[in-house]
Structure 1
Amino acid sequence: MPEPIIQTQGLDFYFKDFKALDQVSLNVPRGSIYGFLGPNGAGKTTTIRVLLDLFHPKRGQVSIFGKELLDHREEILGKVGALIENPSIYKHLSGRQNLEVVRKMVGGKKERVDEVLKIVRLVDNADKKAKNYSLGMCQRLGLAAALLTDPELLILDEPTNGLDPSGIIEMRELILRLNKDHGKTIFLSSHILSEIEKLATDVAIIDQGKILYEGKLEGLKNGGDNLQLSIELDHVDTATHVLEKQGFVILEAYHNGLLLAIKSKQEIAEINQLLVASGVQVYQLSSSQENLEAVFLNLTKKLDQ
């Protein structure tokens, strides 16, 4: 397993009496695109602000690059680039001038401005006023600013939020290139499930300040309890009674069939035998894997039960 580039243990954070983070423990593998997924208000931005030492947790530890953030703040943050919410851009300046301002603040090399403009594909618009940039171009300019120090780790908070479809595609392609061609580990916060599904190698799901899942994206989608079985049959009430008596979970019942949660494909034969033995005519059985959206909804619902 790749060495973790970010590790947190038992982070608790409060806004007065409101507990925004509840024992948040993360392990972000080096070289990954790590999708940090959760609904709005789940604790994503709060976690990111803790990782950047902007918020200080009441309890817990943060290690980045194998070193404690509290003890090595300047060294660690010098190797981290971040884009949180909307980037701060001087609209009366050109894209290049904006980057020059940031470069002087962070002490970056002069030639790095041209390098990052090329990476984010803003060379042709570098000398246009930022007030004439689209939202997607502004986001890419903000990302260019985050890249000026050539960081090993990029932390991006909702980088596609508010973008039109073409802007989303541009940002997605840029994130993939930064990871594959430039070797950046990317911590990517989002509430857009489809984007995480297209980008992430690893994922964590947070809701109400709690981590509900962390691991490989494939592990989330292919876990044993994420199979569904659709059955077309004649006697729905009889079938429901028989299957629930045997401990099967009925997700949905409709006029000519049932939708069940199953743990393995081996259970399909068992279910079929049970129904036939009970005099139920089975016309069709079909199993499917839940998509990421269904898995996410099922996980977050568990907190409300």
Structure 2
Amino acid sequence: MAEILATGDAMQRALALLGAGEIVAIPTETVYGLAGDATNGGAVARIFEAKGRPRFNPLIAHVADMAMAAQIAGFDPLSRKLAEKFWPGPLTLVLSLLAKSSIHPLATAGLDTIALRMPRGFGGELIARLGHPLAAPSANSSGRISATTAQAVAGDLGARIPLIVDGGPTPVGLESTIVKAEDGRLRLLRPGGIAAEEIEAIAGVELQRGGKAGVEAPGMLASHYAPGAAVRLNATEVMPGEALLAFGPERAAHSYRAAAELNLSPAGDLREAAANLFSHLMELDRSGTATIAVEPIPQQGLGEAINDRLSRAAAPRDMPLG
């Protein structure tokens, strides 16, 4: 089983493992990431193997600063403006990959673009001290619920990786928002920890929804973030034996039938709901129910990202978009 070390004790051990081409689970502000040196093909391959991730699904490369990012990707004016405002933080930019970049081709899944993010906290310090960007998708088996605690990582990947860095529960609880600028336009490829409205306010342009045909960035598989149980969305009543993922102060009809119940936010706070989403799904899944009924979640703000994750959790498994 993986060794688990608190952030205050883990830096040297993590650096030694990453420098040797190993992979390490680390906390970020969004969810826990399964990190490996993005310039090392063996390390990147270990990420795909540990997760059981399809090789056509690209990885985000995480950087410590703009100088490191500029060695990897070309920044158009709009992307640079967003990076200056939201980095470090839960925003990923899909950018043109520089020919001189040292990113291993396996991390980009053969695309001529690269998804870049600059994390806060332990992850950012780790990258700066390593001196290399880290590929770091969510630290969970491919397609399953993302981990927001070290214990969740251990329960899923603990037998496949050498180290889990424990930074406590992640504060955002959703993966990063992914956007791509093209010819002065901006496309939202994956809603996430920064609401679309915040990005539009800085960009000065409206975010167009959706990608083109195929997978352009991580998190674009139709089935993703899925528990073992089936997920039923926008439930206005609870069927016998279902678990209930509730939201707000008012309950769906016949909520007394629920075999288990957790509320994303009794007060109806979308930020609290986002932080609780994956951990609550995971706990309800452990109840043994065959179906998790989910009460309606508002679509505005972070609700767009929450509904995106829930729709993918409810989708037929392993179906790509496009």
TM-score (norm 1): 0.27
Going by fraction, where is strand more abundant, 1 or 2? 1
Structure number with greater Rg is: 1
Going by fraction, where is helix more abundant, 1 or 2? 1
TM-score (norm 2): 0.26
